[in-house]
Chains A and B, each alone.
Chain A
Amino acid sequence: MSVENAPIAPTTPANPGPDAPVAIRVEDLHKSFRIPTQRVDSLKERAVHPFAKREYRELRALDGVSFEIRQGEFFGIVGRNGSGKSTLLKLLASIYRADAGRIQIAGRLAPFIELGVGFNQELTARENVVLNGVMMGLTPKEVRERQDAVIDFAELHDFADLKIKNFSSGMLVRLAFSVMLQADADVLLIDEVLAVGDAAFQQKCADAFHQMKAEGKTIVLVTHDMAAVEQYCHRAMLLADGEIQFLGTPAEAGHKYLKLNFDAGVGEAGLGGAESDGVKLLSCRLEDETGELAMTVDSREELRIKVEMELQCDAEALHVGFTFASADDLGIFEFGEMLTREAGLDLSAGKRVTLTATIENRFVAGRYFVHCGIHSPSGIALYVHKATTFVVFGGRDTRGVMSLDRQVVVEIEDAEDAR
């Protein structure tokens, strides 16, 4: 599955819509883990200190999550690491028990938290197929009927009676995936299994997913891969800190996910108040429309950069300049502003000067740095390298650093006529 350029499947079955019967209903689900601050894992410890206070840290993995998934829906769950999405999946799969709340599922459920779980290295491929099939809830008879088909699908016919410890990793993955497909469940829970295997195998995965989708199975996909979410899912849910942040269209969920991701990933810009002869730079930062600090900017929104400085000596004129640099420190755009007393600005010692610039956002998604320089003929000189940084997200259709307006005209004529 080539994620970057894969076209949106033209045959995507319509969203079953709110009238379809419910396949999964989750009501007010809570789950927290008790993490002992000091782990006691021996009976000896317990016997020696029977009354020692055992302290726990409460980790809230899920905090009141409710949603419904319709039959035939391809539902995506996205979120950053630790947002609770894997916990949710494990609760749905009956691997964990919820602290409070209700889960209802219609029909048979097959969880695929990891490919090839429960494979016994010492058994042959055939025996593993049977074992895994029974684990997924088929009867031994049903599995025996299907095992040849499973092995053929995995293209392992010649190795069916070989112990799987002798298999290559590629063969194992094929076997595991093929076993997974045999489950024939009504509801499938899939956690990141797309991310394994070579290109050919990923294509096979993609085909299998389209097939399942076409068959009207209910599929819940947990992933970091926004392209996959947008490609397959009818609806998507964004989890953050154990709560539902957003539930709706995959595109919007992906968008919010990226914003959430970069907001947390960027951190405060590396400016701790730079000072030089005659001027003190108090702050240099990007803001959103409401004046809040912004670390990430949507590619559709304009940039707003704000600089605050304090003058420590009188100046006749002051030049404030900015250099925008790409992640590999290539200067891509510079501009400056001359402040003068002639223009009526009081540039005396002790004055605080604030400058806000609004800039058209033509940056392609990625990280950028801003260098800031302040100069005056009277000797003020301050240059701050990487005064601030920001991340532009969204707008996947362009590469490089700048997104320029373009008009494309395509003409087609017969080669004969052109000559």
Chain B
Amino acid sequence: MSTDVQAAPAPPVAELREVQGPSALGGGWRRFYDLLMLISVTEFKRVYFGTVLGYLWSLIRPLMLFGVLLFVFTQVFRVGGKEVEHYPVMLLLGIVLYTFFQESTSNAVTSVVAQEGVVRKTQFPRLVIPLATVLTSIFNLLLNLVVVLVFVLAFGVSPTWTWFLFPLALAFLFVLAGAIAMALSALYVRFRDTAIIWTVVSQVLLYLTPILYPITIFKEDTTLRHLLMVNPLAVIFEQVRVWVLHEPQAPTAVEAAGGWLGLLPAAVIFFGVIVYGAWFFNREAPRIAEAL
């Protein structure tokens, strides 16, 4: 017990400032960034260095899927062939990217509710929670892409300058995943069947995106092709194929959509999802602690 009370210096007088209540960002950008990085990095480390096979497991999953699909689509359905020079590489790259999208968004759905203690008992910028799960998946993806690179080179794809555009496509994918993560995690607080619905939706999206099949499979039916390009993921994946695998047969996203105007719906959906995700999360953030 301290006895020299009189000697204690008076604390400096601090300015009174307004308390705004909880919010998506709450507590300033600096703290937001620190928390986001710290949480995603520790989570990443925990998964990949915590167990001996940690990283291998997360790689084995897309690779297994890749192996099975490669067999089914090249031996059973005979997709690829002349139309796609590097079908296996296209498939692998597509699966790795889509695994990221699916993993990050479905992990994010329950993230805010799973962190109930933190949300209800501490002052915590709510947005950190879903974004940290996405960021953890991004780290995971970047590691997986190194393995993909080995395959790409092994299958005889030579590097070109368009590879430098690949990060741009990744950026679009990350932003989309982040926005969906925000919307879903806030939605799940109110509606618990969001998780089930999203599992189904993300499964459907896999087939609506030219991953297992090249978009050129619809040779005659250009309407269907244009329709597929309404999906922003399809645009991103198609463009990745052009930039990374630079196949002469592969149409660019613009070509596949039938001109720049054809990309408009995808762009509207893309930005719509971002705006909705940000708006909805921001609207819900102050009340999340009460709704839990």
Contact = CB atoms under 8 A, between A and B. Distances in A.
A and B bind: yes
Contacts of B123: 93-95, 109, 111
B5 A214 contact: yes
Nearest to B26: A94
A329 B286 CA distance: 53
Contacts of A98: 21
B38 interface: yes
B2 A134 contact: no
Contact of B287 (A97, A103, A108, A214): A97
Interface string B18-60: 1111100011001100110011001000100010000000000
Contacts of A108: 14
Contacts, number: 142
B61 interface: no
> Taking each of A25, A33, A94, A214, which has the highest tally of chain B beta carbons within 10 Å of its own beta carbon?
A94
A149 B241 CA distance: 53
A394 interface: no
A92 B19 contact: yes
A81 interface: no
A378 interface: no
Nearest to B115: A118
A216 interface: yes
B240 to A, nearest CB: 32
A43 B189 CA distance: 11
Nearest to A119: B117
B122 interface: yes
Contacts of A72: 10-11
A223 interface: no
A113 B122 contact: yes
Nearest to A216: B11
Interface in A37-56: 41-44, 46
A22 interface: yes
B118 interface: yes
A334 interface: no
Interface in B1-18: 1-5, 8-11, 13-18
B14 A107 contact: yes
Nearest to B3: A11
Interface string B269-292: 000000000000000001101100
Interface string A96-135: 1110001111111101011001101011000100110011
Contacts of A105: 16-17, 19
A9 B3 CA distance: 10
A215 B11 contact: yes
Contacts of B122: 93, 95, 111, 113, 117-118, 135
User: Lowest 7 CB-CB distances: which A-B pairs, in order?
Assistant: A97-B21, A107-B14, A103-B19, A106-B14, A97-B286, A117-B121, A214-B2
Given A13-B5, A71-B11, 11 more contacts: A11-B2, A72-B10, A90-B289, A102-B18, A111-B122, A118-B124, A139-B34, A186-B11, A210-B1, A214-B5, A215-B8
11 contacts: A12-B5, A13-B8, A43-B187, A93-B123, A95-B120, A104-B17, A105-B16, A118-B117, A118-B122, A131-B39, A135-B35
